[in-house]
């Protein structure tokens, strides 16, 4: 496959390239174009040049093209799934059954939402108010490695639907499906320059993109540290930002809950080898049922199969990169040194070697310790107990993050009461990861800035205008 940049409707090479390795076995998958300031400037120029015509394109035509891109994704689902599994180590069965269908749905949803976008005019002392959503311009989208294509298209689809042109900077640890998407957009008939892909290391190509004066929107999903760099780069131009950042989400289990359901939801937090920003990694369990819950949890977690993610029977694959693997192990080692005890896992999977880290559960961590407050982004959960509802809420809100929370209870009244007090952008009650693109998505505190989804996406990717008209003389 071609892994040069995609700029202005054509492949653009770079003098330098970087190796992309598979986390499954360390093999070299591709030598990818390594962009920098020149490629960033070229891509923004192409996007800016294509913007006037794309902004004037009718809603119906934009929607038609987004549906054509979705058709292309569906035709190549198996290829996209295998490429992404090989590139980032996530489960092939997840890519086939959920992730790639969601990629296609992202385009279809925002195409259809565009056609219904609007609000009724309203009156102010006889004056008519008309709200409209005007395309903003060039949107730079910087996307993560843990769900590369799904999280990229969650941004690309509304940005294109809104009438913006796009420059995508995919993560250097998982760059391949972005190149395939460029081919799909071209086959769908998207005009040259409307969608562009610049590959490369974030430190080299990121600042020239996010600091470019012609960029009108920046959307980023990733770490808090990188978000601060992007915000500083965007500040001189006052470029609006949407930031979906890390999490340290709680899963609260009350004594009146279905403990089998609670254990199932807790084990689900190992999905994608724990590399999920929304994961409820802090298990907070009422004291009276903690032993019963733990027994059920360990029975389920111990049965998880870890191995090659291309095997459809595998439950946990590898970590994405040696650097991430080392970071995870460092968190666990420091936690154990500070008094935490692993009751499950606790280190690398010696039988598999490579980047495979055992699903881990730690107990006995000290309140306020690093393992309870900082994002690990790996298959590492902690278990703490609480005495009552008041303590449960205080523990849940005891980090600087606020992306999501999961609550398990048999009481609707408690669910309403506790949900209202949790600091989180999304609260799941007796379920996990039920996502509807009509709903707002984002985080509180260090977990992000802004909301996307449904109208919220168009509010961000557009310049929302109100036109007020005096009564016309008859």
Q: Where are the domains of the chain?
A: 5-245+447-469, 250-429
Buried residues in 267-296 as b, exposed as e (16+ CB within 10 A): bbbbbbbbbbbbbbbbbbbbeebbeebbeb
**Average pLDDT in the chain:** 97
- pLDDT higher than 90, residue 139: yes
Look up tokens 């995609």; give the residue. 6
Percent of the chain predicted with pLDDT > 90? 99
Catalytic residues: 244, 277
The confidence score (pLDDT) of residue 473 equals: 85
| 261 Cβ contact list (under 8 Å, min separation 6) | 408, 430
Rounded to whole angstroms, how far apart are CA atoms 401 and 448? 9
Report pLDDT digits (tens) over 399-452: 999 999 999 999 999 999 999 999 999 999 999 999 999 999 999 999 999 999
Rounded to whole angstroms, how far apart are CA atoms 140 and 104? 21
| 200 touches 229 (CB < 8 A) | no
pLDDT-based confidence at residue 386 (cuts at 50, 70, 90):
very high
- pLDDT higher than 90, residue 353: yes
Rounded to whole angstroms, how far apart are CA atoms 203 and 350? 34
Report pLDDT digits (tens) over 48-59: 999 999 999 999
| 174 touches 88 (CB < 8 A) | yes
- pLDDT higher than 90, residue 149: yes
The confidence score (pLDDT) of residue 84 equals: 98
Q: What is the CATH number of domain 5-245+447-469?
A: 3.40.605.10
Report pLDDT digits (tens) over 263-320: 999 999 999 999 999 999 999 999 999 999 999 999 999 999 999 999 999 999 999 9
Report pLDDT digits (tens) over 179-189: 999 999 999 99
Q: What is the CATH number of domain 250-429?
A: 3.40.309.10
CA 262 from chain centre, in angstroms, equals 24
Rounded to whole angstroms, how far apart are CA atoms 399 and 378? 18
Q: Mean per-residue pLDDT for 19-27?
A: 98
The confidence score (pLDDT) of residue 474 equals: 78
Report pLDDT digits (tens) over 218-234: 999 999 999 999 999 99
Rounded to whole angstroms, how far apart are CA atoms 135 and 197? 20
| 152 touches 178 (CB < 8 A) | yes
List the one residue out of 351, 95, 136, 399 whose CA is nearest residue 245: 399
The confidence score (pLDDT) of residue 65 equals: 98
Rounded to whole angstroms, how far apart are CA atoms 206 and 304? 38
Residue 57: how many CB atoms within 10 A of its CB? Answer: 15
Length of the chain equals 474
Report pLDDT digits (tens) over 52-111: 999 999 999 999 999 999 999 999 999 999 999 999 999 999 999 999 999 999 999 999
| 140 touches 209 (CB < 8 A) | yes
The confidence score (pLDDT) of residue 368 equals: 95
């Amino acid at each position: 496959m071609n892994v040069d940049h995609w700029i202005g409707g054509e492949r653009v090479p770079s003098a330098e390239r970087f190796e992309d390795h598979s986390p499954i076995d360390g093999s070299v998958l591709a030598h990818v174009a390594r962009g920098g300031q020149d490629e960033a400037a070229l891509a923004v120029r192409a996007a800016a040049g294509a913007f006037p015509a794309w902004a004037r394109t009718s809603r119906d035509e934009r929607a038609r093209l987004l549906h054509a891109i979705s058709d292309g994704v569906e035709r190549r689902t198996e290829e996209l799934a295998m490429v992404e599994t090989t590139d980032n180590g996530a489960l092939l069965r997840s890519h086939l059954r959920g992730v790639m269908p969601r990629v296609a749905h992202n385009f279809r949803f925002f195409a259809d939402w565009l056609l219904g976008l609007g609000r009724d005019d309203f009156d102010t002392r006889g004056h008519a108010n008309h709200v409209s959503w005007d395309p903003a311009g060039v949107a730079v989208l910087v996307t993560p490695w843990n769900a590369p294509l799904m999280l990229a298209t969650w941004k690309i689809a509304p940005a294109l639907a809104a009438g913006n042109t796009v420059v995508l900077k995919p993560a250097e640890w998982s760059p391949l499906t972005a190149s395939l998407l460029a081919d799909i957009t071209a086959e769908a008939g998207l005009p040259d320059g409307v969608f562009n892909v610049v590959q490369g290391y974030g430190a080299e190509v990121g600042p020239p993109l996010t600091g470019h004066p012609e960029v009108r929107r920046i959307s980023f999903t990733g770490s808090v540290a990188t978000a601060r760099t992007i915000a500083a780069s965007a500040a001189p131009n006052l470029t609006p930002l949407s930031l979906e950042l890390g999490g340290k989400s709680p899963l609260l289990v009350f004594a009146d809950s279905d403990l089998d359901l609670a254990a199932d939801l807790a084990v689900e937090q190992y999905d994608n080898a724990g590399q999920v920003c929304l994961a409820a990694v802090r298990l907070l369990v009422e004291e009276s049922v903690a032993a019963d819950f733990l027994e059920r949890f360990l029975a389920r977690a111990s049965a998880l199969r870890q191995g090659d993610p291309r095997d459809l029977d595998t439950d946990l694959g590898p970590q994405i990169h040696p650097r991430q693997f080392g970071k995870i192990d460092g968190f666990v080692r420091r936690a154990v040194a500070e008094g935490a005890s692993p009751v499950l896992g606790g280190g690398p999977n010696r039988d598999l070697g490579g980047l495979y880290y055992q699903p881990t559960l730690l107990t006995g961590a000290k309140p306020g310790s690093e393992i309870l407050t900082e994002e690990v982004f790996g298959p590492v959960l902690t278990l703490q107990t609480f005495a009552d509802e008041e303590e449960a809420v205080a523990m849940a809100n005891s980090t600087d993050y606020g992306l999501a929370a999961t609550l398990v209870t048999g009481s609707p009244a408690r669910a309403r009461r506790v949900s209202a007090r949790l600091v989180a952008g999304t609260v799941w009650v007796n379920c996990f990861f039920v996502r509807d693109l009509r709903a707002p998505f984002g985080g509180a505190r260090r977990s992000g800035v802004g909301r996307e989804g449904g109208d919220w996406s168009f509010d961000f990717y557009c310049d929302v205008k109100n036109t007020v008209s005096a009564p016309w003389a008859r």
